[in-house]
C-alpha cells in the first residue's frame, strides 16, 4: 500500500504533504504509486477533488474521523478524512498495491510486487482480498488503522501548532512533525 497524506487549512491551503509506503508485512516504507510519473500532482489533484465530499460528510455525524469518504477508481485511490475542530483537514490517500492474486497478498512480501508500475484497474481485486491492512482499503481493520494513525497525527499536529513560532495558516515545516507522521505511518499503516 502506498500513502499520500496532506494537511489542509480551513481555507484549503496545503500545510503539509508527505508520501510514504506501508511498513506492514515486510513493506519498506517507500511509496510506490501506480503511476510514478504523474503521482506527484495526480495525488494532490485526487485529494483536492474529494474536498466537496468532505464538506458534505462533515455534517453527517459529529465525529472527527470521517472514515473512507471518496474513491478515485482510475488510480484505485481511496481517500480517508479527518477533521479537526478548528477546521483543518487531514486527508489520506491510500492506494493498494496491484496484486496478481488474492492469495498471495498475505504471504508474499509486497515490496517485490510494488516495484513495477504497470497500469490496470485492480481496485476490485484488492478490495476483495484478505482483510490485511495492506491490501483492503475499506475493511474495518483498515478503517481502524487509519483512525489510529489520524489520531496520533492529530496529537502531534496540536503540539506543533502550539509552538509559539508557528502562526495560523503557515506551512508546517517542522522536521519533528514530519518524523512523527512518518513514525505514525510506520506504526499503524
Taking phi over 0 as left and psi of -120 to 50 as alpha, with beta for the rest, 66 belongs to alpha
Contact criterion met (CB below 8 Å) for 179 and 18: no
Beta carbon of residue 153, minimum distance to another protein (angstroms, whole number):
16
Beta carbon of residue 51, minimum distance to another protein (angstroms, whole number):
29
Count of helix runs (H) and strand runs (E) in the chain: 7, 5
Q: Which of 159, 169, 179, 187 binds another protein (CB under 8 A)?
A: 159
Cell numbers at 84, concatenated: 479537526
Beta carbon of residue 146, minimum distance to another protein (angstroms, whole number):
26
- Pick the closer one to another protein by CB: 41 or 165: 165
Q: Is 173 in the site for another protein (CB under 8 A)?
A: yes
Beta carbon of residue 161, minimum distance to another protein (angstroms, whole number):
9
CA 112-117-120 angle, to 5 degrees, is 115
Site for another protein, rule CB under 8 A:
159-160, 162-166, 173-174, 176
Amino acid at each position: 500500500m502506498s500513502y499520500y497524506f496532506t494537511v489542509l487549512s480551513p481555507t484549503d491551503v496545503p500545510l503539509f504533504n508527505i508520501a510514504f509506503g506501508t511498513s506492514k508485512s515486510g513493506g519498506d516504507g517507500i511509496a510506490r504509486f501506480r503511476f510514478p510519473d504523474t503521482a506527484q500532482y495526480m495525488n494532490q489533484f485526487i485529494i483536492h477533488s474529494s474536498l466537496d465530499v468532505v464538506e458534505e460528510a462533515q455534517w453527517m455525524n459529529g465525529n472527527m474521523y470521517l472514515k473512507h469518504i471518496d474513491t478515485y477508481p482510475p488510480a484505485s485511490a481511496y481517500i480517508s478524512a479527518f477533521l479537526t475542530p478548528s477546521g483543518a483537514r487531514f486527508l489520506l490517500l491510500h492506494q493498494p498495491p496491484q496484486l496478481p492474486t488474492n492469495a498471495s497478498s498475505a504471504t508474499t512480501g509486497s515490496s517485490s510486487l510494488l516495484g513495477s508500475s504497470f497500469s490496470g484497474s485492480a481496485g476490485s481485486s484488492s478490495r476483495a482480498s484478505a482483510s490485511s491492512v495492506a491490501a483492503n482499503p475499506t475493511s474495518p481493520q483498515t478503517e481502524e488503522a487509519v483512525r489510529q494513525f489520524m489520531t496520533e497525527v492529530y496529537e502531534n499536529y496540536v503540539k506543533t501548532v502550539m509552538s509559539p513560532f508557528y502562526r495560523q495558516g503557515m506551512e508546517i515545516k517542522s522536521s519533528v512533525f514530519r518524523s512523527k507522521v512518518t513514525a505514525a505511518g510506520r506504526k499503524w499503516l
